[in-house]
Amino acid sequence: MQSPEPETVVTDEDTGTRPLLSVEDLQTYFFTDEGTIKAVDGASFDVYSGRTLGIVGESGCGKSITAKSILQIIDNPGRIVGGQVKLSSNGDASKNLLEMEPNGEEIRSIRGGEISMIFQEPMTSFSPIHTFGNQIIEAIRLHSPLDKEEAHGLAVDWLRRVGIPSPEQRMSEYPYQFSGGQRQRAMIAMALCTEPRILIADEPTTALDVTTQAQILDILQTLQKQNDMSIIFITHDLGVIAEVADVVAVMYLGKVVEIGPVESIFSSPKHPYTKALLSSMPTIDAAPRERMPSITGAIPHPQNRPSGCSFHPRCPSYMSDICGLREPDLVSIGTDQQASCFLYGRN
């Protein structure tokens, strides 16, 4: 999540390495009675080994659905209708996860194995009728040849590592007996116990206090260093993103509207939406009692996506001759930043 010395984003060119995971033009739609909701509508990004990609954006912009699409765990009436999710293997070939049978052996062994996910709602990802211990042991044994006793030992070890006091005893307790913060930690332990190559963390600290949040970010950072794990970190908290991400993808209504190294996104955001989002972030060093800059207007309903650039009704830089008429593509600005906005060329 964090490199010891500040350095710029790693791209294909400067390391010669390929991305571990590549999401290309992902489209996931929900076909409801009221119409089609394009929850994810052409999202693309790369994830590199040992690095953290942050995904930010307002509620409903498609962050969670993007994450779930990677693992093909989309509920009805949702369907992945386009795109590729390429996972590179240790050898040379890469596999397109979207070509796998959604309930087949192949993707099931990747879920919770090579790619683990921390879900936004911790309560829904645990079974209320099984003890924590059994659930973690089962997760471990699904992806490793350990016997029950070994898996038990490993589970206790992980609960301890994420800071759950007296883990041995807590193994026999049920989810409702844990506090919110403890449940979140237990879920993190469960996601990490199989030592995944990629961790997808969907709002892993949003429900937590700053102090607990700091402890958990610390744990993730340590593990990332130890295992060279990649992290996709989803949040709407820009403060957390500033702290953990190497590269940031900003989403608006199902699309990545800007992507670049975290320093560039914070010091010179290009898309008007990114700029607006950053300036509406409350900061503790702001002068008190000052009005906060806010984005005018409300997030449009995903069914009534505005024409052209979908940010145009709220955009302070709106240009009437183009923004509402045509859809901008992501274009490169500088060496490693991209934004989709006509201010940077009328492609």
Partner 1 sequence: MTEETNVEIKKPILEVKNLKKSFPIKRGFLQRTVGHVRAVDDVSFSIADGETLSLVGESGCGKTTTVRAIMRAINPDEGQVLFRTDDDETVDLAELSLSQIRPLRRNIQMIFQDPFSSLNPRMTIFQLISEPLLVNGIGNKQEREDRVTELLRQVGLRPEYMQRFPHAFSGGQRQRIGIARALAINPRLIVADEPVSGLDVSVQAQVINLMMDLQDEFGLTYLFVSHDLSVVNQISDRVVVMYVGRVVEVGKPQELFRNPKHPYTSALISALPITDPKNRGVRPVLEGEIANPANPPSGCYFHPRCPFAVDQCKVEAPPLQEVSGRLVACHRTEELELAGVTKHGVAAG
Contacting residues toward Mg ion, per CB under 5 A: 64, 120
CA–CA dist 4, 127 (Å, integer): 39
Alpha helix (H) residue ranges in 71-147: 105-110, 132-143
Within 219-248, the residues that bind ligand ATP by CB under 6 A are 236
Q: Which of 19, 62, 167, 181 binds partner 1 (CB under 8 A)?
A: 181
Whichever of 104 and 297 has its CB closer to partner 1, that residue is 297
Piece of 19-27, 62-70, 104-112, 158-166 that binds ligand ATP (CB under 6 A): 62-70
Answer with the entry of Mg ion, ligand ATP, partner 1, none that 62 interacts with (C-beta below 5 to 8 A by kind): ligand ATP
Does 161 participate in binding partner 1 (rule CB under 8 A)?
no
Instruction: Find the farthest-apart pair of alpha carbons in the chain and give their distance in angstroms, rounded.
Output: 68
Within 86-125, the residues that bind partner 1 by CB under 8 A are none
With CA atoms as reference, report the closest residue to 162 among 139, 189, 136, 140: 189
Tokens 């702001």 sit on residue: 286
Shortest distance in whole angstroms from residue 64 CB to Mg ion = 3
Shortest distance in whole angstroms from residue 19 CB to ligand ATP = 22
With CA atoms as reference, report the closest residue to 167 among 175, 179, 158: 158
Pairing of strands 35-47, 331-333: unpaired
CA–CA dist 48, 64 (Å, integer): 20
Pairing of strands 337-339, 331-333: antiparallel
Q: Which of 52, 64, 205, 213 binds ligand ATP (CB under 6 A)?
A: 64
With CA atoms as reference, report the closest residue to 329 among 312, 308, 313, 315: 308
Q: Which two tokens stand for residue 322?
A: 């183009």
Tell me the C-alpha to C-alpha distance, in Å, between residue 13 and each of 17, 24, 245: 8, 19, 20
Does 215 participate in binding partner 1 (rule CB under 8 A)?
yes
Q: Which two tokens stand for residue 340?
A: 């989709």
Whichever of 92 and 285 has its CB closer to partner 1, that residue is 285
Within 287-346, the residues that bind partner 1 by CB under 8 A are 287-295, 298-299
Shortest distance in whole angstroms from residue 189 CB to partner 1 = 16
Piece of 36-44, 122-130, 140-148, 276-284 that binds partner 1 (CB under 8 A): 276-284
Phi first, then psi: what are they for 87, rounded to 5°?
-110, 120
**121 beta partners:** none
Whichever of 197 and 314 has its CB closer to partner 1, that residue is 314
Shortest distance in whole angstroms from residue 74 CB to ligand ATP = 8
Shortest distance in whole angstroms from residue 126 CB to ligand ATP = 19
Answer with the entry of ligand ATP, partner 1, Mg ion, none that 162 interacts with (C-beta below 5 to 8 A by kind): none
Give the sign of the dihedral formed by CA 294, CA 297, CA 300, CA 306.
Answer: negative
Residues that bind ligand ATP (CB under 6 A): 30, 32, 37, 39, 57, 59-65, 75, 78, 120, 236, 302
Residues that bind partner 1 (CB under 8 A): 2, 6, 58-59, 165, 180-181, 208-215, 217-218, 236-240, 242-243, 245, 262-263, 266-267, 276-277, 280-295, 298-299
